Amino acid sequence: MTTLDAPRTSLRSEEPVAEAPVAVARVRPQVRQAAGRVLITFALLVAWSLAYVFVLSRLDELHAQKSLYASFRSQLAQGLAPMQLPVAPGTPIALIDAPDAHLTHVVVVEGTSPGDLQKGPGHLSQSVLPGQQGTTVLLGRAVSYGGPFGHIADLQAGSVVTVTTNQGAFHYRVLDVRRRGDPVPAPPAATSSRLVLVTAESGSGFGALQPSNTLYVDADLVGGKAQPDAGAPSLVPSDERPMGTDTSRIELTELVLGLALLAIVLLLVSCARARWSSTAAWVAGVPAVVASLWLVSDVAARLLPNLM
């Protein structure tokens, strides 16, 4: 009896040892598959982010500019365009033209928060309106949303920048291009007008995503008379200053809601794949996924520096 029982005991003790490598072998492919999905998802998000910053955001800016241009032309024809401050943020106030900087009939809006500059160049609310006595400051993005001020570094002393408002067309001659820390030109005469264009300066390629300095272009009014100063606020919100960001509660709430919407859409697509074929699920779900990503990207861009 002892002799017969011994092999049985030996066999039982060896069974768990034989199963362990099999269980590990089954887990490893699952881990690799999960890691692969995470890496693919991360790569797709990075590719989407770069595509949005350099290409897709331009479509948003073009749509906004088209609408603003039609509205501003109508206001100019009727004499209804703004001529004094304060002006509601996002309102078109002027057209800017500078052939040497690739600017042609670009609409300038009131305000320089990240959201305002998604529509085009913006007027710093602390400064006077273009063409008026004093200094007018216009901020514009260098890369995203079409990068309207991405070529103002090409302006040279003597280049002409034209700004059209409800008070007429004003021609400014560039004095110089400077960076943060360079000497600032002497203030203009009390009855004269100066225009300052501001944007970010960064490297080429992916280096454009990391602004390294602030670029300024100073220009003085020539061949015309500056209009009287209509007043300007003395304080500027932090998100309207150069390199300002918008981290307000409203923006963060919109971002959270956008991410929640994206998560719901992805969940619905996964459920559709379980009931339909993968092709049918993605054909129906891709437009919703892209729309959700676009919404999230638009809101998230307001959390980045306004000159980028």
Q: What is the pLDDT of residues 45-96, one digit of tens each?
A: 888 888 898 899 999 999 999 999 999 999 999 999 999 989 999 999 999 9
Report CA torsion sign: 149, 112, 165, 171.
Answer: negative
pLDDT class for 11, splitting at 50, 70, 90? very low
- Whether residues 173 and 72 share a domain: the answer is yes
For residue 162, what is the domain's CATH number?
2.40.260.10
Q: How far is CA 61 from CA 12, 43, 272, in A?
A: 73, 26, 34
> If you ran DSSP here, which 8-state letter would residue 304 be given?
S
Picking from 240, 260, 291, the residue at the C-terminal end of a domain is 240
Q: What is the pLDDT of residues 166-181, one digit of tens each?
A: 999 999 999 999 998 8
User: Is residue 31 a part of any domain in this protein?
Assistant: no
Total-model pTM: 0.82
pLDDT class for 235, splitting at 50, 70, 90? low
User: Is residue 9 a part of any domain in this protein?
Assistant: no
User: Is residue 14 a part of any domain in this protein?
Assistant: no
* Beta pairing, strands 92-98 & 160-165: antiparallel
Q: What is the mean pLDDT of residues 91-119?
A: 96
Q: How many domains does the chain have?
A: 2
Smallest CA-to-CA distance from 145 within 208, 238, 190, 230 is with 208
CB burial string 195-221: b at 16+ within 10 A, e below: bbbbbbbbeeeeebbebeebbbbbbbb
- Whether residues 259 and 111 share a domain: the answer is no
Note down the domain range covering 215: 56-240
- Whether residues 72 and 118 share a domain: the answer is yes
Q: What is the pLDDT of residues 130-163, one digit of tens each?
A: 999 999 999 999 999 999 999 999 999 999 999 9
Distance of CA 136 to the CA centre of its chain: 23
